[in-house]
Chain A
Amino acid sequence: MFSAKTGSELTGVQGVHFRLAFSVLVAACAGVLVSGPTHYLWLSSAGVALLAVGAGITTLWSP
């Protein structure tokens, strides 16, 4: 079973990726809050689609 490192534990390239992903997340949330979540369904669906691809990739590491 996989035990992920937390973001603060990541260093080097992985740390950069984490910070980049976190920055994009914060920017996206800020954008939604400022503009009003009128297109939330589309945004959420896009997020879940990305999540589906990610979930598929993680099966590489299933036992």
Chain B
Amino acid sequence: MVGTIVPVGNGQGQEKGESYFVLMYLLGSLVGAAAMGWMLTSLGVALRHSLLAGGPGKYVLLALGVVYLVGSAREVGLWSCPLPQSSWQVPRSWLHSFGDYLGVFAFGSVLGFGFFNPVVCVSFYAVVLWIVVVAGRGAGIVLALAYAVGRVMPVLVLWYVTARSRRSTISYVGEIDRLRSIVYVVNGMVLAGVGSLLLTVTFRR
């Protein structure tokens, strides 16, 4: 993915990302994420009104806590299982069809939506579950936007760093890879923390 997004947002091999590409990618990601948040909260509101009597009850929170704890173990590599994901990729032809800027915007919005790309971590589904089962419409959209921010942040940092250095963006890939375990472990820890909290609340009720 790094090699696709970087050089920033255009996927065409330019070494110095242009500010407008970054801006369009950022905007696209936020719009796509907002759409995901809106869709998931709509689904969640409908489910809660029809199945959960307006809100998640004790057993739903208990199940969510267990899922989070089990998921945290996968996140830190204690066990593995395949995750449902889409292997569809944004066609490169979009850049020609929509033009550079609109193509980058479309690229960002599809990626920001979250489901139309390979999913490599449990955390994504943990967030989706939370939005559907627990979050209200506003909170759901904020959480989806947080996902987009996490998605865009490394690209912004890379763009900023490479714009001020003589190194190519691809030369940073090795350094980015060294952060991988840290990100996964922190995700796993947070997942375990939220899962424990939900279990604690459930048993104290």
Binding site for B on A (CB under 8 A): 1-7, 10, 14, 17-18, 21-22, 24-25, 28-29, 32-33, 36-37, 40-41, 43-45, 47-63
A55 touches B121 (CB 8 A): yes
The CA-CA distance from A56 to B109 in the complex, in Å, is: 13
The residue of chain A having its C-beta at the shortest distance from the C-beta of B130 within the complex is A48
Task: State the CA gap A25–B111 with chains docked (Å).
Answer: 31
Residue on A nearest B80 in the bound complex, by CB: A3
Chain A contact surface mostly: helix
How far is B203's CA from A40's CA once the two chains are assembled, in angstroms?
A: 13
Contact residues of B with A, CB < 8 Å?
Answer: 1-2, 5, 75-78, 80, 111, 117-121, 123-124, 126-127, 130, 134-135, 139, 142-144, 146-154, 176-177, 180-194, 196-198, 200-201, 204
Measured in the bound complex, the distance between the Cα atoms of B2 and A33 in whole Å is 41
Separation of A53 and B143 alpha carbons in the complex (Å): 9
A57 to B144, CA, bound (A): 13
Q: Are A52 and B146 in contact (CB under 8 A)?
A: yes
B118 partner residues in chain A, CB cutoff 8 A = 62-63
Whether B192 and A25, one on each chain, are in contact in the complex, defined by CB atoms closer than 8 angstroms, is yes
In the assembled complex, the CB of A52 is this many whole angstroms from the nearest CB of chain B, namely: 4
Residues of B close to A37: CB separation below 8 A: 197, 200-201, 204
Q: Are A52 and B143 interface neighbours, CB within 8 A? A: yes
- In addition to A29-B197, A51-B127, A61-B180, 12 A-B residue pairs with Cβ atoms within 8 Å of each other are A14-B182, A28-B193, A37-B204, A43-B197, A44-B197, A48-B130, A53-B150, A56-B152, A59-B111, A59-B117, A60-B1, A61-B1
